[in-house]
Amino acid sequence: MPAPDDVYKHDVDFTTLALQYPDFAKKLKSNRQLDFSDPESVRQLTKTLLHRDFDIAIDLPEDRLCPPVPNRFNYILFIQRLLDCTSPDFRDGYNPDRQVIGLDVGTGASAIYPLLACQQRPKWLFLATEIDDKSRMYAEKNIATNMLQSRIRLLSTDITGAELIPSKQLERFDRIDILTTNPPFYESQESMLESSRSKSRPANSSCTGAPVEMITPGGEVSFVSRLIDESTLSTNRTRIQWFSAMLGKLSSVGFVVETLRQKRCTNFAVTEFIQGQKTRRWCVAWSWFGFRPSSAVARSVGSGVEKKFLPPPTDIEFDVHADMATLEIRTGEEIGKLDVLWKYVPARRAGMLMSKGGDVWSRKARRRRVHQDHEMADRDDDHEKDEKDEEQEPALVARITLSAAVVVDSRVAGSAKTNVHIRHLQGQDSVLFESFCGWLKRKIS
Ligand code: SAH
């Protein structure tokens, strides 16, 4: 049974945990608290939570990173939501039949991301890389202990660490849905020590980390910049739908988003991990595909992240003074005038719109269209144009959903209101989406 998403909404109750797990009970202090400065206690907590909440058994070496479970679970929840709202069939929500393939770069001794992801979602598969021999050995063992060898595979990778994405190894997979990574955070031994000194107690994830796990030249921003660079290579950008990385510093979020923008990436998501967190962590995900996540997933941050670092909204809503039936007709009529594909399902009060070529609604676009039609009549290369169209990703796919809006006083005649929700599902250009929403609002209001 998968654990509920909010399993760490409240602090873990150590007393209850101790009653169920004698090994954990031995680590509790007389005041029923845990000594977070003791690596063995922290390891025991991780093992116990993995077992109680996910039915996962792991063994961890003393000299490697001990992953805090709530934090790692938050990352898994984020990628679940991200994939659930960007599936190529535009289905919204968890599809238990969808086979997802993940790739975890630097899986560590625990292999915690692949284990959690596969345990929570029975159809998912994971590939993983790890350059540290000792961690690799433990990861293999942990995968086997949980009988997940058929669903999680360690790939060989360049052990110098020069390459983050093992592109050659990925060639036999048509598509990877998500890449996850938890980069080494620190630039140097000094910055690592300094960070733990400045905290009131050591972050429980860092107390047992080996240098290869914790330190990378240039810190996490340099690691993620390398990942962004590798993600732009055509073999990676067309094979892997989402790239993502956890970040340990708020300042890294802005840096990573700016780097993505410089590379002209328009489709990204920023989130902050909240549930059960003692230390703040963020995650940025980006894609070169056009499937766009909902605003709730792509812009879910606390007050720390500045608005300017968030992607543009993909959900726009407004109320129209009209009853549902009138609005259904009006919307159908207006969209029917456009050169777009449009399918409305009355039972769901929702329709899907696809514009292959982009803006066909503005006055300018309509003038251009008339001009082109005249030109076309003189030429005979229609066929060629159609073929080209087929290869291209549509410029805009949106779902329009109508629902009864809350009306303050329903006794007043003519006070019916309908809510229009437009969701940007696919397309690289958010200005195009906004322009469409603006046009529709003017036409049907
Ligand atoms: N994913 C684990 C471990 C994260 S620590 C967790 O979240 O707990 C970072 C890991 O990345 C370390 O195990 C380190 O050995 C590994 N690593 C560093 N550079 C790498 C590279 N280029 N390719 C693969 N793994 C790498």
Q: What is the pLDDT of residues 309-327, one digit of tens each?
A: 999 999 999 999 999 999 9
Q: Is 419 annotated as a binding residue?
A: no
Pick from 153-167, 220-234, 372-386 the range whose average pLDDT is largest: 220-234
Using pLDDT thresholds of 50, 70 and 90, give the confidence band for residue 203: very low
Whether 201 has a pLDDT exceeding 50, the answer reads: no
What pLDDT is stored for residue 206 in this prediction? 40
14-309, CATH topology level: Rossmann fold (3.40.50)
Which of 268, 357, 271 is CA-nearest to residue 314? 268
- With the most atoms of ligand 1 within 8 angstroms of its CB, the residue from 43, 47, 65, 115 to mutate is 65
What pLDDT is stored for residue 82 in this prediction? 98
Query: Percent helix, strand and coil across the chain, each rounded to 5?
Result: 40, 20, 40
- Burial label for 31, CB within 10 Å (0-12, 13-18, 19+), is exposed
Using pLDDT thresholds of 50, 70 and 90, give the confidence band for residue 259: very high
- The CATH architecture of the domain made up of 315-381+391-444 is 2-Layer Sandwich (3.30)
Residue 244, Cβ neighbours under 10 Å: how many?
23
The C-alpha atoms of residue 305 and residue 252 are separated, in whole angstroms, by: 10
What pLDDT is stored for residue 363 in this prediction? 84
Whether 83 has a pLDDT exceeding 50, the answer reads: yes
Q: How many A from CA of 133 to the centre of ligand 1?
A: 11
Q: Whose CA is nearest to atom 25 of ligand 1?
A: 106
Ligand 1 interacting residues, C-beta cut-off 6 A:
65, 67, 72, 105-108, 110, 112-113, 129-132, 135, 157, 161, 164, 182, 184, 212-213
Average pLDDT over residues 185-199: 66
Amino acid at 218: G
Distances (CA, A) of 27 to 13, 15, 114: 14, 11, 28
Using pLDDT thresholds of 50, 70 and 90, give the confidence band for residue 44: very high
Which of 245, 236, 253 is CA-nearest to residue 288? 236
**Collapsed DSSP state (helix, strand, coil) of residue 372:** helix
Which of 244, 288, 242 is CA-nearest to residue 270? 244
Residue 76, Cβ neighbours under 10 Å: how many?
24
> Would you list the domain boundaries of the chain?
14-309, 315-381+391-444
Sorted by sequence, the CB contacts under 8 Å of residue 234 that are 6+ apart come out as none
